Chain A
Amino acid sequence: MGDDVLRCDRLRRTFGARVAVDDVSFRLAPGEVYGLLGPNGAGKTTTIKMVCGLLDPDGGTVTIGGRPARDDLSVRRMVGYVPQDVALYPDLTATENLAFLGRLYHLRGRELAARIDEALELTDLASRGGDRVDSFSGGMKRRLNIAAGLLHHPALLVLDEPTVGVDPQSRHAILERVDSFGRTGMSVLYTTHYMEEAERVCDRVGIIDHGRLIAEGTRRELVAELGQKDRIELAADGDLETLAAACRRTGGVERASVADGTVQLVAADGRRTLPAVIEAAEHAGVPVRSVDVTEPDLEAVFLHLTGTALRE
């Protein structure tokens, strides 16, 4: 499609013998928030770095606004990059940091000052512009990190796990902002390993694992791939790996994996399968303490596709 803001075609990148990204293709339409969902080490950051021109792909192409991104500096003015770790000068004020980065994007004078005010306002930091960054809380630094990416009004905002290590309140604030960016017409490429975040802010999600994009679509489309399946979460005392193995041998259970101190299952029919699962647990010597049967979500999709839980 000619009006795609971002188009990645068959991206591939290796580090020595390790294939970090393998044949990854996806597109972003204007105003779309696209989530790359996958566990740590899945290839999300490598993909983002190729999009932002920080890594050259070994194969494939990145096109931004219809122009090839590689070696074309003007294309970079269309992209706002918000790295995973806060990248700001702690010994400069918030305003000085934004002014420096704004000048690199050719902003100057009144326009630069107006953009700085706007970015600080947008991230609720208007009253702290004159303070040094090293006096900021972790959440404030994260917000300023995002403000720096917004300064030059990019057509595409790339956010690499912006909520890692952030308190719940700041996280909520960041997600609210991201949610609003799409409505202003800005496209957002958002990577996360938090399924809830992807479900909340992304119009479409690409599930990436071991460097490969294994599924893509809206939440509804992805969940529909599971059919009439249910997600079962078991809490138990004892060896959860033994319980997961016992569950895998139980009829009706398609996937079983340990995550966050529970055993996560995908079953064709949760209510019918459950008695057999509990019996198998008893036989395995790992009695079940509580059971939660829910509608399928992206977590279940990931489990269904990869055989492992997202946060395993």
Chain B
Amino acid sequence: MRAALVIAGKDLRQRLRDRSAIVIGLVAPIAIAALMSLAFRGAETFHYTLGVVDDDHGPLATALGGVLHEPGLRQVVTTQSLPSAAAARTAVRDKTVGAALVVPTGFSAAAAAGHPAALTVVTGADNATAGSVTASIASSFVAQLNADRLSVATALAAGAPGSEAARLQSLATTLRLPLTTVDRSVGATPLKAVSYYSPGMAIFFLLFMISFTSRSYFVDRSQGMIERIRAAPVRPHEIVLGKALSVFAYGIVSLGIIALVTTAAFGADWGDPLAAGALCVALVVAVVTLATLVMAVARTQRQAEGISAVLVFGLALLGGNFVFLSAAPPIMRNLALGTPNGWALRGFTDLATLGGGLRTVAVPIAAILSFSAVAGGLSALLATKAVRS
């Protein structure tokens, strides 16, 4: 164990002296997490400006205005009055509004007379979501209107006097369609982009330790240092353990600093410190076992670099370090659970949205440690053999 600590100390000294390691371990993840958070800021909650053209000036146009200012919609839509349909098209094209709704001249009168009338939704090709939401609002309003008309017609057909028609119509407009959906969010807090991409990027760059460590081993070997160390009173497994300890220490410190900086500077939420720390430790253990496995399997430095590159980018892509997994197709979400970084991201997401402590991340930690046990068992077997030979 003493020799392993000596080797780990030396490796850490070399790594800290290597500026590229500092850049990749600390500067790059913080910078990219900040950039991605900026890029995706607002993507967590949807909101747009809706242009409204009132050429009707009738009661239905007024009623539609009332609907658009209801509290439920105010979180999603801000309205802006526009003078004409042409102005609405220009505003959508210029992106000053996300979409527009045109209430045509005589819309209220046509509805009262029982003639067909249409609301026009103006949408832009680059903001399909705003177009869809506007169309839904318009459809919902028309459905309510038709329901009102149906209820008045039903009352009249049932024998209500014709003189009551106006009063019934007024009464019907105060009624609402029954609610068909109820929002019951599982997460207590919405997930902010910075709270996803901070651990996402920290983990992605942590995966580069696989490449650094295996390369360092093969450089040591080509410089004759592994042989020189083996000639000393050192057992082969102590050399492997020393390399692993240096990765572990560096990985923990790197994740810790990134968590502190992104929390303080960008408001990232890593969740309960103890639970986040436990998740970090489990993940770094997985990275250590993967680095050792590459050392054991590769025969040359070039092979190690190739295997590491495939592993790093494969895990990052599958694990969801670059994209919100919640927005990914189900197959991607399932594949992510085959990777330690995918489980770690799930853990950090749960901590940021559900809150809680160690219990929240118990399953992700168990999954990562199971992965590490398999990779670690294989690498312990093969790496000691590789160093000996």
Q: Spell out A's residues near B (CB within 8 Å).
A: 52-54, 73-74, 76-77, 79, 81, 83, 85-92, 96, 100-101, 103-106, 148
Contact = CB atoms under 8 A, between A and B. Distances in A.
Contact of A92 (B2, B6, B13): B13
A74 B225 CA distance: 20
A242 to B, nearest CB: 43
A96 B9 CA distance: 11
Given A89-B225, A91-B18, 19 more contacts: A53-B230, A54-B230, A54-B231, A73-B234, A81-B228, A87-B225, A87-B227, A88-B225, A89-B10, A89-B14, A89-B223, A91-B14, A91-B17, A92-B10, A92-B13, A100-B10, A104-B3, A104-B7, A106-B2
Contact of A106 (B224, B225, B233): B233
Interface of B: 2-3, 6-7, 10, 13-14, 17-18, 223-225, 227-235
A89 B224 CA distance: 10
A101 B224 contact: no
Contacts of A54: 227, 230-231
Contacts of B6: 100, 103-104
Contacts of B18: 91
7 contacts: A73-B235, A76-B232, A77-B233, A83-B231, A85-B224, A89-B10, A92-B13
A106 B232 CA distance: 10
A116 to B, nearest CB: 15
A217 B107 CA distance: 119
A221 to B, nearest CB: 31
Given A92-B13, A92-B14, A105 B233 contact: yes
Contacts of A105: 232-233
A162 to B, nearest CB: 13
Given A104-B3, A104-B6, A52 B14 contact: no
A81 B224 contact: no
Q: Which of A96, A100, A105 lies at the interface centre, i.e. has the most chain B CB atoms within 10 A of its CB?
A: A100
Contacts of A85: 224
Nearest to B18: A91
By DSSP majority rule, is chain A's interface helix, strand, loop, or mixed?
loop
B231 A81 contact: yes
A83 B225 CA distance: 10
Contacts of A89: 10, 14, 223, 225
A74 B232 contact: no
Contact of B228 (A53, A73, A87): A87
Contacts of A104: 3, 6-7, 229, 232-234
Given A52-B231, A104-B234, A105-B232, A96 B224 contact: no
Given A100-B6, A103-B6, A79 B223 contact: no
B227 A83 contact: yes
Nearest to B231: A81
Nearest to B232: A104
A76 B224 contact: no
A77 B233 CA distance: 6
Q: Which of B18, B231, B234 lies at the interface centre, i.e. has the most chain A CB atoms within 10 A of its CB?
A: B231
Nearest to B230: A54
A74 B14 contact: no
Contacts of A92: 10, 13-14
Q: Which of A53, A96, A101, A148 lies at the interface centre, i.e. has the most chain B CB atoms within 10 A of its CB?
A: A101
A89 B10 CA distance: 10
Contacts of A100: 6, 10
B233 A87 contact: no
Contacts of A73: 233-235
Contact of A101 (B17, B228, B230, B235): B228
Contacts of B235: 73
A151 B75 CA distance: 74
Contacts of A103: 6
B225 A76 contact: no
The 10 closest A-B pairs by CB, nearest first: A87-B224, A81-B231, A104-B232, A73-B233, A87-B228, A103-B6, A76-B233, A52-B231, A100-B10, A85-B224
A90 B17 CA distance: 12
A100 B239 CA distance: 13
A88 B225 CA distance: 6
A230 to B, nearest CB: 42
Contacts of A74: 233
A146 B173 CA distance: 98
A148 B10 CA distance: 16
A312 B13 CA distance: 46
A197 to B, nearest CB: 21
Contacts of A77: 233
Given A89-B14, A92-B14, A104-B3, A53 B231 contact: yes
A104 B1 CA distance: 11
Contacts of B234: 73, 104
A178 B230 CA distance: 24
